[in-house]
């Protein structure tokens, strides 16, 4: 067998020994995705069989020896209806099934924990709310919905965890989101599945799904010392956001306490829900949506804050208390049991981590 390329040979051997045609099913949605996939494979196989049977039987039944003169059929409504309605029905089943799955995958449950992902040539940077930073690795607990908020800081990438049957584009300038719930502890592949330049093939990593207790331990052992919201608080001070947004009654900017999740009516008359994407836009392109009653004096911060910095600001604004301090301390956002904590220590003057150095 030495004439087969060694790579192909290895692949064949591995495939034959492990039947590793599919990645493991390690998330809640994985078996559901596979069910749809197998259904489509099944339909294709049935279709293939029918076509082959017809080809073979027709070439025997209607060959030239038996039928020297061709008989023309002018059409059969029954026949045409049959071969239209059956495939249409099958396609519609696939469509509805797929759409239901799609909505399930892209609509995170309310209790999902949030993890932020920045893609760049050629690595994945992961930011946990508790201040754990990872590169080309993602640690998650099993049995808990995890929502990823994803952005790219350069070109298009695509964040893919085959074992979870999850994939989402990382787009420059826009947040995308996907969620999953890991079910089986283990280490799985993380890929970039969008060709993104020379080292695209090395834009890989591992996803570690852990039992909740192990995950808690990992969180404690890996924190950078500041929660993401605390990084945001420092950034908020070092970029002088607090010169305009502060608890004083004569502040020049609108109060940002509790705006996350609220509905804002803009000067244009448009009503928006304040989510991560809105906050990002409000910080980077303030002139795009002006709040009535305020002069458009907020400067643009485009190019001055890294994507991690924007994530930190967003996380800070999500957890703002009435005095512009944050309720959250280390590890606290992550597991519900950890949710009590003392107020965060105050921000200090040094360069905050998300600020772009110039
Ligand atoms: C010079 C004063 C000033 C500074 C500095 C400033 N802002 Fe603003 N900001 C405003 C004003 C005024 C508005 C409302 C008008 C508008 O939307 O442009 C606003 C709006 C916002 C909004 C939208 C919320 C709403 O109700 O409209 C967010 C979020 C925000 N600012 C965050 C920030 C952050 C984060 C920083 C620092 C990176 C910052 N701002 C710096 C004045 C300021
Ligand atoms: Cu990539």
Nearest to 33 by CA among 104, 91, 109, 111: 104
Measured in angstroms, how far is the CA atom of residue 135 from the centroid of ligand 2? 13
- In DSSP terms, 232 is beta-bridged to none
- Look at residue 333 in the predicted model and tell me its pLDDT: 44
Positive/negative CA dihedral, 352, 353, 354, 356:
positive
- Look at residue 3 in the predicted model and tell me its pLDDT: 64
**Given a cut of 70, is residue 276 above it in pLDDT?**
yes
| Residue of 246, 248, 253 with the most ligand 1 atoms within 8 Å of its CB, for mutation | 253
Greatest mean pLDDT among 4-8, 46-50, 67-71, 274-278: 46-50
Prior bond of 230 cis (ω within 30°): no
SS3 355: strand
CB atoms within 10 A of CB 243: 11
Residue nearest to atom 7 of ligand 1 (CA): 298
Decide which of 296 and 233 is more confident.
233
**Given a cut of 70, is residue 347 above it in pLDDT?**
no
**Region 189-209: what's the mean pLDDT?**
93
Question: End-to-end CA distance of the chain, in Å?
Answer: 59
Burial 44-78 (b: 16+ CB within 10 A, else e): eeeeeeeeeeeeeeeeeeeeeeeeeeeeeeeeeee
Greatest mean pLDDT among 69-73, 141-145, 218-222: 141-145
Lowest mean pLDDT of 23-37, 157-171, 298-312, 338-352, name the range. 338-352
What is the secondary structure of 25-59 as a DSSP string? --BTTHHHHHHHHHHHHHHHHHHHHHHHHHHHHHH
Measured in angstroms, how far is the CA atom of residue 216 from the centroid of ligand 1? 36
Contacts of 333 (CB under 8 A, 6+ apart): 113, 114, 129, 130, 227, 229, 319
**Given a cut of 60, is residue 328 above it in pLDDT?**
no
Pocket of ligand 1 (CB under 6 A): 236, 239-241, 243-245, 252-254, 256, 259, 264, 279, 282-283, 286, 289-291, 294-298, 301, 313
- Give the number of the ligand closest to the Cα of residue 201: 2
- What is the crossing angle of helices 228-238 and 307-318, to 10°? 100
Ligand 1 atom closest to residue 287's alpha carbon, by position in its atom list: 18
Positive/negative CA dihedral, 232, 149, 111, 186:
negative
Tokens of 288: 């795009």
- Give the number of the ligand closest to the Cα of residue 284: 1
Measured in angstroms, how far is the CA atom of residue 243 from the centroid of ligand 1? 10
- Give the number of the ligand closest to the Cα of residue 156: 2
- Look at residue 345 in the predicted model and tell me its pLDDT: 36
**Region 162-170: what's the mean pLDDT?**
92
Note the pTM of the prediction, 2 decimals. Answer: 0.80
Pairing of the two strands 137-141 and 205-210: parallel
CATH fold for the domain made of 15-224:
Immunoglobulin-like (2.60.40)
- Look at residue 289 in the predicted model and tell me its pLDDT: 79
**Using 50, 70 and 90 to split pLDDT, how confident is the model at 107?**
confident
**CA angle, residues 245, 246, 250, in degrees to nearest 5:** 95
Measured in angstroms, how far is the CA atom of residue 206 from the centroid of ligand 1? 38
Ligand 1 atom closest to residue 279's alpha carbon, by position in its atom list: 29
Residue nearest to atom 34 of ligand 1 (CA): 241
- Look at residue 17 in the predicted model and tell me its pLDDT: 64
The neighbourhood of ligand 2, an ion, using CB within 5 A, equals: 157, 192, 196, 203
Distance CA 90, CA 36 (A): 12
Query: What rounded mean pLDDT belongs to the chain?
Result: 84
Lowest mean pLDDT of 41-45, 100-104, 158-162, 284-288, name the range. 284-288
**Given a cut of 60, is residue 354 above it in pLDDT?**
no
C-alpha 229: how far from its chain's center?
21
SS3 147: strand
Distance CA 286, CA 343 (A): 29
CB 279 within 8 A of CB 314: yes
What is the secondary structure of 173-226 as a DSSP string? TB-EEEEE-B-S-EEEEEEE-S--STTGGG--EEEEEE-HHHHHHHHHHH--SS
- Give the number of the ligand closest to the Cα of residue 124: 2
**Given a cut of 50, is residue 68 above it in pLDDT?**
yes
Look-up of token digits 């303030």: 286
Measured in angstroms, how far is the CA atom of residue 124 from the centroid of ligand 1? 30
- Give the number of the ligand closest to the Cα of residue 232: 1
Measured in angstroms, how far is the CA atom of residue 173 from the centroid of ligand 2? 15
Residue nearest to atom 12 of ligand 1 (CA): 253
Tokens of 188: 């799985």
**Using 50, 70 and 90 to split pLDDT, how confident is the model at 311?**
very high
CATH fold for the domain made of 228-338:
Cytochrome Bc1 Complex; Chain D, domain 2 (1.10.760)
Domain spans of the chain?
A: 15-224, 228-338
**Given a cut of 60, is residue 153 above it in pLDDT?**
yes
Measured in angstroms, how far is the CA atom of residue 155 from the centroid of ligand 1? 28
**Region 113-132: what's the mean pLDDT?**
92
Distance CA 138, CA 115 (A): 9
| Residue of 244, 257, 356 with the most ligand 1 atoms within 8 Å of its CB, for mutation | 244
**Using 50, 70 and 90 to split pLDDT, how confident is the model at 20?**
low
């Amino acid at each position: 067998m030495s004439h087969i390329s060694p790579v192909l040979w290895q692949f064949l051997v591995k495939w034959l020994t492990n039947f590793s045609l599919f990645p493991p099913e390690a998330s809640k949605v994985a078996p559901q995705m596979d069910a749809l996939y197998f259904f489509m494979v099944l339909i294709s196989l049935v279709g293939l069989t029918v076509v082959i049977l017809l080809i073979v039987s027709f070439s025997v039944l209607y060959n030239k020896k038996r039928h020297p003169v061709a008989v023309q059929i002018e059409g059969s409504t029954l026949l045409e209806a049959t071969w239209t309605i059956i495939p249409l029905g099958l396609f519609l089943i696939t469509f509805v099934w797929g759409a239901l799955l799609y909505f399930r995958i892209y609509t995170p449950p309310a209790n999902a924990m949030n993890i932020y992902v920045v893609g760049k040539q050629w690595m994945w940077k992961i930011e946990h709310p508790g201040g754990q930073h990872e590169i080309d690795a993602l640690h998650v607990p099993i049995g808990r919905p995890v929502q990823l908020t994803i952005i790219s800081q350069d070109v298009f990438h695509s964040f893919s965890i085959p074992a979870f049957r999850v994939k989402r584009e990382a787009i420059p300038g826009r947040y995308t989101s996907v969620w999953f719930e890991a079910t089986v502890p283990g280490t799985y592949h993380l890929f970039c599945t969008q060709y993104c330049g020379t080292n695209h093939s090395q834009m890989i990593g591992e996803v570690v799904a852990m039992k909740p207790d192990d995950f808690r331990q990992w969180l404690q052992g890996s924190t950078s010392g500041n929660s993401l919201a605390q990084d945001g608080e420092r950034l908020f001070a070092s970029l002088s956001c607090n010169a305009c947004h502060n608890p004083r009654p004569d502040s020049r900017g609108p109060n940002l306490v509790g705006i996350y999740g609220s509905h804002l009516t803009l000067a244009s008359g448009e009503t928006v829900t304040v989510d991560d994407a809105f906050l990002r836009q409000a910080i980077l392109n303030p002139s795009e949506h002006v709040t009535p009653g305020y002069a458009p004096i907020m400067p643009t911060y485009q190019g001055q804050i890294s994507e991690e910095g924007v994530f930190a600001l967003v996380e800070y604004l999500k957890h703002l208390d009435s005095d512009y301090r944050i309720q959250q301390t280390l590890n606290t956002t992550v597991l519900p049991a950890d949710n009590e904590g003392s107020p965060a220590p105050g921000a200090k003057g040094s360069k905050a981590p998300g600020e772009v150095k110039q």
